[in-house]
Structure 1
Amino acid sequence: MTRTLFTPDHEEFRSLVKGFISREIAPNSEKWNERGLVDKAVYKAAAEAGVLGFSVPTEYGGLGIDDFRYNVLVTEELARHGSGGVALTLLNDIIAPYLLRLTDEAQRQRWLTKLAAGEMTWAIAMSEPAAGSDLAGARTSAHRDGDEWVINGQKTFISNGILSDAVVVLCRTDPEAGHKGFSLIVVEDGTPGFERGRKLDKIGLRAQDTAELFFSDCRVPASNLLGTEGRGFYHLMENLPSERLAIAVGAIAGAETIFDTTKKYAKDRVAFGQSIGSFQHNRFTIAEMSTELDIARIYVDSLIERVLDDTLTAVDAAKAKWWCTELHKKVVDQCLQLHGGYGYMLEYPVARAYQDVRISTILGGTTEIMKDLIGRDMGF
């Protein structure tokens, strides 16, 4: 279907992203997947290519591009290649907005310049063993001791947890203040009392390192507070709509890619003397997927436009997030079925997609949490 979101400049940038993926990611994907870790040098290469940190102002080494459509292009092309292990979306769509919005000048000089240069990779640590969707239940604590914060606690399911040079940690800084008792504190690699635990063994997205993190009397300078003390929970909520929309963007792009390869397979694969796509049941299945993907694409593109005019709401993004990730999961499952036994073989993209897609309805807020948010907004 024809999309009207993008100008020739955007399409030129898309070509740049495709070139970067074919040059720096595609030749290494299998190696990274087997190892469970990407090469850190890919982030320096991404910065040099202009596909990392482009939203950072020029005075801090970025390109000064304040246009969410550029984020969309990176997310879409990574999803189409199946490059979920490379954390460019994490850095561009989650970390960069926090650093742009919440840092003071000294912090920008310390952190933004290195992010834009690909010299400093990041993670954000929210989830804990007993607090996933319920972030208000987080127990990791930080208390002020002179010119330092002292952090104690544990985080888990942290994307980029092994490779990160710095971690934004959600800490409870006032145990009596409820939602107003959380703060965001940056912990840099090598800080005494900060240890990385296991690199977790996952079903899919195996090249994306996911880790446990431990903090034991971990002392960081008071200047590592990100944003306002006591506003950490609200800082997280401010960025969640665009984060969840980014997940929806990747879900649709990934689903469309597997659908396109399956259409070709259904035309080429012959059974009982005819292409398998010509059987009525299969033809109906393909028609349904095509329709659902087009409808989802129109909705997601409309929300991208709302980001541009600053009218995207948390409910808009929640609707996109749950629907598109559930659709992605459904499309991949149906496409694998159409491949028959070949769909179960990892040499076929649909098999790898089947492994990778399962987390999408969980990360960034589960489908159930999204529906609850929407229902509450309707007064139920």
Structure 2
Amino acid sequence: MNHMYFTEEHHLFRESLKEFLQKEVVPHINKWEETGTVERFIWKKFGEMGFLGLVYPEAYGGMGLDTFYTVILLEELQKINSGGFAANIWAHTYLAMTHVNAEGSHDIKEKYLAPSITGDKIGCLCITEPFGGSDVASMRTTAVKDGDHYIINGSKTFITNGIYSDYLVVAAKTHPELGNKGISIFIMDRDVPGISATKLDKLGWRASDTAEIAFDNVKIPAENLMGEEGKGFPYIMQHFALERLIMGVNAHARAEYALEYAKQYMSERKAFGQTIDKFQALRHKFSDLYTDMTICKTFNYTVAHRLNQGEYVVKEATMSKLKSTAMADEVIYQCLQFLGGYGYMEEYPMARLLRDSRLGPIGGGTSEILREIIAKMTLDNKDYKPAT
């Protein structure tokens, strides 16, 4: 299957990335998990290696590479067993930076995208609100035009990189009376007066600085509007396809990691005079789990290929996230069981992996919301369109 999508250059990139992660990231993971703070030096190292600009234009320091370099980055980040660290990297690179690249003016890209690629600036994307959750259209944050400025008021929550980021990409309603047709996208520096953030305490993703952010009469220049006023909702929906595929790829990768670890453990752990990988009940359960993972992985690669060809894959990406995240939770739960009591111990990887994985069916649109989106497309024949 790999030869269908991955070239020799892709494989060389994967090996280089693995070596980098083992040398530069893995030695610090436990500390970052304990402190909830990823140190700034690692962002610069990622930037120096080009990992933050894989898909972005060379004009701003990117590499202009295809989607499968992103797939490789996502997969290998999952296999160092820190969902929080992985989230910090991909939320910056594929949530915040995606909007900057797609909707930002040349000046905005010079100011924010270029230093994001080098690791000198970290971004966060602020869409979800305390009272809205997956219901993006119901957001209450407002942006009122005041001469050549906008005044932002409201709050956002569950924001990855919400504490330590240098800039924020924020969705707000410029015309609340228009519902989802009144949403616009803005960019602002962290140090603008009126922005405050509170760190959230989470079940998993412990290395990630997830925050609730408040905007109290935040005044920003009108040129900080990205794209057209009132087009924020279709911009968000368009990029959700990428976010959901990312979470699908993340899911199959962490499931694969769990299975690889369980396989090794089962080949060494003995009970009743033989290694436990010889017991039929465990062998057959492992076979089922490996099959489920492989089916999701194969589908996700197909969707990534179509996205790389420029197709609008919102339906398929939604399916990817829905099935892959549920699969990963089940695989990791069962792999923890394969380890018995050791699976429950923090010195083994499964406990953290189980906690981190549980966010999959929640973040980026809950599974319940995704099922309704798929129902609208398949039962009601709703045809979502890309932003124009």
Partner of 2:98: 97
**1:146 pairs with 2:147:** yes
The residue type paired with residue 79 of structure 2 is R
- Report the Cα distance in structure 2 between the residues aligned to 1:8 and 1:148, rounded to whole angstroms: 50
Residue type of the alignment partner of 2:231: R
Report deviation, 1:277.
2.3
Shift of 1:59: 2.3
- Encode CA deviations 1:222-244: one digit per residue, 9 max, x unaligned: 11111111011111011111211
Deviation at 1:312, TM superposition (A): 4.3
Go from structure 1 to structure 2 and tell me whether the alpha carbon gap of 1:227 and 1:2 turns closer, same or farther (over 3 Å shift).
closer
Q: Structure 2 CA distance, aligned partners of 1:113 and 1:264?
A: 42
CA distance in 1, matches of 2:238, 2:300: 19
Residue 117 of structure 1 deviates from its aligned partner by: 1.5
The amino acid of 1:247's aligned partner reads M
Tell me which residue corresponds to 2:304.
304
After superposition, what is the alpha-carbon deviation per residue over 1:83-118, rounded to whole angstroms, capped at 9, x for unaligned?
323322122222232122111111111111111221
The residue that corresponds to 1:123 in the other structure is: 124
- Kindly report the root-mean-square deviation, in angstroms, between the aligned alpha carbons of the 2 structures: 1.3
- 1:143 partner SS: strand
In 2, distance between residues paired with 1:355 and 1:158? Answer: 18
Q: Deviations over 1:8-35 (max 9, x none)?
A: 1111211222122122211110000000
Count of residue pairs brought into register by the alignment: 378
| Aligned CA distance change for structure 1 residues 3 and 260 (closer, same or farther; 3 Å) | farther
Equivalent position SS for 1:360? coil
Q: Quick check: 2:151–2:217 contact (8 Å CA) kept in 1?
A: yes
Distance in 1, matches of 2:305 and 2:144, equals: 42
- For each residue in 1:154-213, what CA deviation from the matched residue of structure 2 results, as whole angstroms up to 9, or x when unmatched? 11111000111011111011011111111111121110111112x111111100110111
Give runs of aligned pairs for residues 1-380 of structure 1, distance below 5 A.
Answer: 2-65=2-65, 67-86=66-85, 87-197=88-198, 199-380=199-380
List runs of 5+ in structure 1 lacking aligned partners.
Answer: none
Seq. identity, %? 38
SS of the counterpart of 1:202?
Answer: coil
Deviations 1:273-315 (A, max 9, x none): 2222222211110111111112112111111111121224211
Q: Is the 8 A contact 1:37 1:85 kept in 2?
A: no
Indicate the SS of the match to 1:63: coil
For 1:257, what is the secondary structure of its paired residue? helix
> What is the alpha-carbon distance in structure 2 between the residues aligned to residue 276 and residue 19 of structure 1?
31
Deviation of 1:257 (Å): 0.6
Is the 1:53–1:96 Cα contact (8 Å) retained in structure 2?
Answer: no
Name the counterpart of 2:384: none
Given the two structures, how large is their TM-score scaled by the length of structure 1? 0.96
Cα distance in 2, alignment partners of residues 152 and 343 from structure 1: 46
Q: Which amino acid aligns with 1:240?
A: F
Q: What letter matches 2:319 in structure 1? A: K
Decide whether the 8 Å contact of 1:167 with 1:186 is kept in 2. yes
Question: Match of 1:250, SS?
Answer: helix
Is the Cα contact below 8 Å between 2:138 and 2:179 reproduced in 1?
A: no
Answer whether contact 1:20 1:46 (CA < 8 A) is retained: no
Offset at residue 58 of structure 1 (A): 2.2
Supply the distance in 1 between the matched residues of 2:372 and 2:196 (Cα, whole angstroms).
35
Match of 1:150, as an amino acid?
I
How far residue 3 of structure 1 moved from its aligned partner, in angstroms, is: 4.7
Question: How many angstroms apart in 2 are the aligned matches of 1:357 and 1:108?
Answer: 33
Provide structure 2 residue ranges, at least 5 long, that are not aligned to the other structure.
381-388
1:319-358 deviations in Å (ceiling 9; x for gaps): 1101000000000000111111110001111111011111
**What is the Cα deviation at residue 4 of structure 1?**
2.6
Q: Structure 2 vs 1, CA of residues 285 and 3 (structure 1 numbering), >3 Å: closer, same or farther?
A: farther
Structure 1 residues 128-177: Cα deviation after superposition (integer angstroms, max 9, x where no partner): 11011111111011101111110111111110001110111110110111
Measure, in 1, the Cα distance between the counterparts of 2:94 and 2:318.
16
Q: Any idea what SS the aligned residue of 1:158 has?
A: strand
TM-score by length of 2: 0.94
Change (3 A) 1:90 1:365: same
